[in-house]
């Protein structure tokens, strides 16, 4: 296990945001297994929205924060919070060719490179169904999914016994809009890098453990 962690110390990963692909789950598992700093763009945006009303408006409507603004905010945050020797798993960033190039340059300035891009492929309608089934506890913040991870009782938090709610950006119409943006913005990025050695495509519809196993196998790591 020690050797395993050492071996992968220098890897830097990132995920495409493909809404509903289960990439949040996979990202957390991988970040933990591989000892990476986990950067999640969605949570980061929502955090920003708490103190910035123009960003709040963008996030609530399911649109994306303008490319250059987002890039600056992300790098500022990472420079303050991640020591140079720690590698980063990006979840949901970058989403555009321009952001990708900015990230590559930023990493080069830190003496790093992009080791892997993991693309989780899923069916669009399946994703929309899964994502719009997400519910959150207003009290403790626990996240449930009525399909993949339901609470024990109806739509009540297991811990707090209070009704769960649906976040504004988990509503179906918002998710559909996000998919349209996704296709407009991210697919050109996929085309831009799909022939690179670091680009890996994985079936995002398999069971969680199987998706993890496929990712680790494709990046050449076989933890046992
Ligand atoms: Zn709760």
Considering the candidates 50, 86, 167, 184, report the single residue annotated as catalytic: 167
Asked if pLDDT for residue 54 goes beyond 90, the answer is no
Choosing from 134, 152, 171, 207, which is the catalytic residue? 134
178 is known as an active-site residue? yes
**Overall residue count recorded for the chain in this entry:** 224
Active site residue 95: yes
In the chain, where are the structural domains located?
2-132+171-218, 133-168
Q: How far is the CA of 162 from the centre of ligand 1 (A)?
A: 7
pLDDT at 20 over 70: no
In the reported structure, the alpha carbon of residue 136 is separated from the centroid of ligand 1 by a whole-number distance in angstroms of 8
Q: Residue 84: is its pLDDT beyond 50?
A: yes
Please say if 63 is a catalytic residue.
no
The fraction of the chain above a pLDDT of 70, given in percent, is 89
Indicate whether 26 pLDDT > 70: yes
Q: What is the pLDDT of residue 17?
A: 41
What protein residues have CB closer than 5 angstroms to ion ligand 1? 137, 139-140, 142, 157, 159-160
What pTM, to 2 d.p., does this model score? 0.70
Ligand 1 centroid distance, CA of 142 (Å)? 6
Most confident of 32-46, 49-63, 148-162: 148-162
Predicted pLDDT at 13? 53
3-class state of residue 107 by DSSP: helix
The number of CA neighbours under 13 Å toward the Cβ of 182 is: 18
- 160 or 120, which is more confident: 160
Q: What is the pLDDT of residues 90-133, one digit of tens each?
A: 888 888 888 889 999 998 898 888 888 888 877 778 778 888 89
Question: In this predicted structure, what is the pLDDT of residue 18?
Answer: 44
Q: Which of 21, 5, 14 is nearest to 78 (CA)?
A: 14
Q: Of the ranges 22-36, 87-101, 120-134, 145-159, which is most confident?
A: 145-159
pLDDT of residue 222: 64
DSSP at 65: P
Is 194 among the catalytic positions?
no
Q: Which residues contact 71 (CB under 8 A, 6 or more apart)?
A: 94, 98, 99, 102, 103
* CATH fold of 2-132+171-218: Rossmann fold (3.40.50)
């Amino acid at each position: 296990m020690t050797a395993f962690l050492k071996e992968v110390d220098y890897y830097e990963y990132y995920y495409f945001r493909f809404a509903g692909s289960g990439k949040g789950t996979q990202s957390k598992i991988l970040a933990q297994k591989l000892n990476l700093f986990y950067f999640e763009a969605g949570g980061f945006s929502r955090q920003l929205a708490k103190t910035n009303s123009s960003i709040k408006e963008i996030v609530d409507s399911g649109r994306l924060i303008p490319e250059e603004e987002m890039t600056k905010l992300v790098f500022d945050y990472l420079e303050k919070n991640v020591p140079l020797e720690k590698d980063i798993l990006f979840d949901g960033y970058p989403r555009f060719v321009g952001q990708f190039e900015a990230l590559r340059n930023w990493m080069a300035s830190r003496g790093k490179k992009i080791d892997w891009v993991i693309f989780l492929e899923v069916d669009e309608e399946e994703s929309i169904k899964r994502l719009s089934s997400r519910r959150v506890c207003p009290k403790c913040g626990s996240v449930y999914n009525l399909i993949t991870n339901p609470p024990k009782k109806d739509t009540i938090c297991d811990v707090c016994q209070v009704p769960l709610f649906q976040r504004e950006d988990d509503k179906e119409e918002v998710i559909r809009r996000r998919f349209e943006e996704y296709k407009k913005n991210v697919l050109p990025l996929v085309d831009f890098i799909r022939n690179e050695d670091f680009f890996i495509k994985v079936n995002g519809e398999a069971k969680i453990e199987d998706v993890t196993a496929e990712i680790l196998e494709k990046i050449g790591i076989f933890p046992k």
